[in-house]
């Protein structure tokens, strides 16, 4: 009998050549199988390229969004609105304040730089996650003032079709509605006057 060390373990191995070959092959195969099992497990812990791309910042060309128009882009699997507000829409924000739950955006649903009456970096652009803060439906555009379904005093904004929550042109929720808080404003910044990036700001990627 002789002592054999393999994979950090010591074994007594028969001096028989056939017996020795069998034992060494068995130990080697066990080590290989363990390594094979570990590699897929470790790989499963790493984010896939698709997952990393889904969470990455989104760059948008806003140059062709005319005043009064809105586009929707996807960021982290969520719809993000980019609304080019008109002067009339901005004026409607002031008129809406007495009827809002949180006109001063005291609940932290936006970055610090968007804690203002228009809830954005630039007054003319709203950047907001288009998901109702009640049960997660996506509100629809209700831009026309005086809409019969919403009342003569309706100044325009957004209407959730699921349970009737209404939001102004800054994504602030009106009183006496199911939604408890304003819409979320994601981190964003402007690379140029015509290029917007969502999911990143001066402080880095969200």
Residues across the chain:
206
Residues of the domain holding 19:
2-45
Say whether both 32 and 88 belong to one domain.
no
CB-based burial label for 197 (10 Å; 0-12, 13-18, 19+): middle
Please give the residue that has the higher pLDDT: either 204 or 95: 95
Angle in degrees, CA 76, 130, 122, rounded to 5: 95
Do 99 and 8 share a structural domain? no
Residues 96 and 117 in one domain: yes
Which range (27-36, 95-104, 160-169) has the least confidence?
27-36
Comparing CA positions, the residue from 173, 164, 171, 159 lying closest to residue 128 is 171
pLDDT value of position 29: 47
| Residue 24 shares a structural domain with residue 94 | no
- One domain for residues 56 and 14: no
Q: Is 199 helix (H, G, I), strand (E, B) or coil?
A: coil
- Is there a single domain that holds both residue 183 and residue 110? yes
Same domain membership, residue 71 and residue 25: no
Mean pLDDT of 61-80: 97
Per the model's pLDDT, the better-predicted residue between 159 and 4 turns out to be 159
- pLDDT of 91 reads 96
Q: Write down the pLDDT at residue 151.
A: 84
Predicted local confidence at residue 22, as pLDDT: 47
Average model confidence (pLDDT) for the chain? Answer: 83
| pLDDT tens figures, 116-172 | 999 999 999 999 999 999 999 999 999 998 887 888 889 999 999 999 999 999 999
The pLDDT value given to residue 33: 47
Q: Give catalytic residue positions.
A: 163
Average pLDDT over residues 40-54: 53
**37 and 69 co-located in one domain:** no
If asked whether residues 153 and 121 sit together in one domain, one would say yes
Same domain, 31 and 114: no
β strands within the chain, DSSP E: 2-6, 9-13, 58-61, 70-75, 78-84, 125-129, 140-142, 157-159, 166-167, 188-190, 195-198, 200-201, 204-205
- In which band, very low, low, confident or very high, does the pLDDT at 52 lie, cut at 50, 70 and 90? low
% residues pLDDT > 70 (the chain): 71
Q: Would you state the pLDDT for residue 148?
A: 75
The yes-or-no verdict on residue 18 having pLDDT over 60 is no
* Closest C-alpha among 125, 126, 138 to residue 165: 138
Query: According to the model, what pLDDT value does residue 14 have?
Result: 52
Query: Same domain, yes or no, for 160 and 184?
Result: yes
Instruction: Report the number of distinct structural domains present in the chain.
Output: 2
The answer to whether residues 64 and 138 belong to one domain is yes
Give the CATH number for residue 168: 2.102.10.10
């Amino acid at each position: 009998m002789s002592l054999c060390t393999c994979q950090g373990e010591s074994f007594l191995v028969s001096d028989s050549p056939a017996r020795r070959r069998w034992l060494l092959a068995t130990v080697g195969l066990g080590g290989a199988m363990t390594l094979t099992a570990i590699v897929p497990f470790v790989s499963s812990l790493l984010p896939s390229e698709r997952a990393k791309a889904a969470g990455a910042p989104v760059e948008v060309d806003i140059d062709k969004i005319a005043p009064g128009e809105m586009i929707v882009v996807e960021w982290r699997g969520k719809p993000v609105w980019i609304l080019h507000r008109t002067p009339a829409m901005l004026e409607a924000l002031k008129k809406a304040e007495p009827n809002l739950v949180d006109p001063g955006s005291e609940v932290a649903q936006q970055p610090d730089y968007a804690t203002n009456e228009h809830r954005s970096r630039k007054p003319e652009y709203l950047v907001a996650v288009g998901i109702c803060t009640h049960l997660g439906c996506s509100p629809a555009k209700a831009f026309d003032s005086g809409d019969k379904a919403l009342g003569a005093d309706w100044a325009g904004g957004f209407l959730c079709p699921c349970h009737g929550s209404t939001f102004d042109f800054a994504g602030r929720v009106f009183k006496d509605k199911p939604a408890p808080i304003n819409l979320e404003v994601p981190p964003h910044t402007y690379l140029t006057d015509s290029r917007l990036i969502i999911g990143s700001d001066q402080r880095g990627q969200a």
